[in-house]
Amino acid sequence: MTAHNNDDVQQKNRNLVRKLVLIVVAMFGFGYALVPLYDVLCDVTGLNGKTNETAVAETQYPVDKNREMTIEFVTSLNESTPMTFYAVTPKLKIHPGQYYTVNFIAENKTDKPLVAQAIPSVSPGLAAEYLKKTECFCFSQQTFAPHEKKTMPVRFVIDPKLPERYKTITLAYTFFDNTDRNQ
């Protein structure tokens, strides 16, 4: 043991510290690596209730007229986004495989132009991948003139492969005020 042979110990300390600092730097990087890892994991496992972010092509599915389920639409505003926002039809009985169009209405309550982004979320989360949207106001930011009121359609289909245990699906939209980011 060489605890008291100074040069030797100092060399050992230097080597060890180098390795430990490397661990620290690597773990800092790992924290950032968790961000894409999380997205990939959610993507692969279908967790987190995220729906398609761009329009999918309208493919035809066999319509199962015997199977009926409920889809609910929930709307909310983030923090103090100055809008009114609601679904014209809050609740709908649907058949998997059939296409439906529903309307959402949003209004800018201010005297200034408003840029807003709607973020969708599906509950239960694992059902999200079976909900396909061919048209949605959430695919891009929406610009509202002062006091403009817009009717915005969403066209969607539920893939008939959706497991039988899902009887009700909730599609929620939250509008985020993005005006400041766009200036």
Partner 1 sequence: MSAVIAEHDEHHDHGPAKGILRWIITTNHKDIGTMYLVFSLIMFFVGGTMALIIRAELFEPGLQFVDPQFFNSMTTMHALVMVFGAVMPAFVGLANWMIPMMIGAPDMALPRMNNMSFWMLVAGILLMASTLFMEGGGPAAGWTFYPPLVLQTGKAFPFAIFAVHLLGISSIMGAINIIATIFNMRAPGMGMMKMPLFVWTWLITAFLLIAVMPVFAGAVTMLLTDRFFDTSFFDAAGGGDPVLYQHIFWFFGHPEVYIMILPTFGVVSTIIPVFARKPLFGYTSMVWATGFIAFLSFIVWAHHMFTVGMPIAGELYFMYATILIAIPTGVKIFNWTATMWKGSMTFETPMLFSIAFVVLFTIGGFTGLMMSIAPSDLQYHDSYFIVAHFHYTLVPASIFVLMAAGYFWLPKWTGNMYNERIARLHFWLSAISINILFFPQHFLGLAGMPRRIPDYAVQFADWNMISSIGAFIYGFSQLLFVYIVIDTIRGGTGKATDEVWEDASKHSLEWTLPSPAPYHTFTTPPTKIPSEHLD
Judged by beta carbon, residue 37 or residue 88, the one nearer partner 1 is 37
# binding residues, partner 1 (CB under 8 A)? 39
Judged by beta carbon, residue 21 or residue 56, the one nearer partner 1 is 21
Determine which residue in the list 63, 74, 78, 150 makes contact with partner 1, applying CB under 8 A. 78
Determine which residue in the list 7, 31, 163, 164 makes contact with partner 1, applying CB under 8 A. 31
Instruction: Give the nearest distance from C-beta 43 to partner 1 in angstroms.
Output: 12
Q: Are 69 and 163 contacting, i.e. CB atoms less than 8 angstroms apart?
A: no
Q: Are 108 and 148 contacting, i.e. CB atoms less than 8 angstroms apart?
A: yes
Q: Interior CA angle at 143 toward 105 and 76, to 5°? A: 45
Determine which residue in the list 40, 43, 47, 70 makes contact with partner 1, applying CB under 8 A. 47
Q: Does 51 bind partner 1 (CB under 8 A)?
A: no
Q: Does 13 bind partner 1 (CB under 8 A)?
A: yes
Alpha-carbon span 69 to 18, nearest angstrom: 61
User: Please, where are the H alpha helices in the chain?
Assistant: 6-45
Among 42-50, 59-67, 68-76, 95-103, the segment contacting partner 1 (CB under 8 A): 42-50
Task: Give all strands (DSSP E) within the chain, no chain letters.
Answer: 69-77, 83-87, 91-94, 99-108, 114-123, 131-135, 142-144, 149-158, 168-177
Residues 6+ apart with CB under 8 A from 68: 93, 94, 95
Determine which residue in the list 44, 59, 62, 79 makes contact with partner 1, applying CB under 8 A. 79
Residue in the block written with tokens 């296409």: 99
Give the residues lining the site for partner 1 (CB under 8 A). Answer: 1, 3-4, 9, 12-13, 16-17, 20-21, 23-25, 27-32, 34-35, 38, 45, 47-49, 78-79, 117, 119, 123-126, 174, 176-178, 181
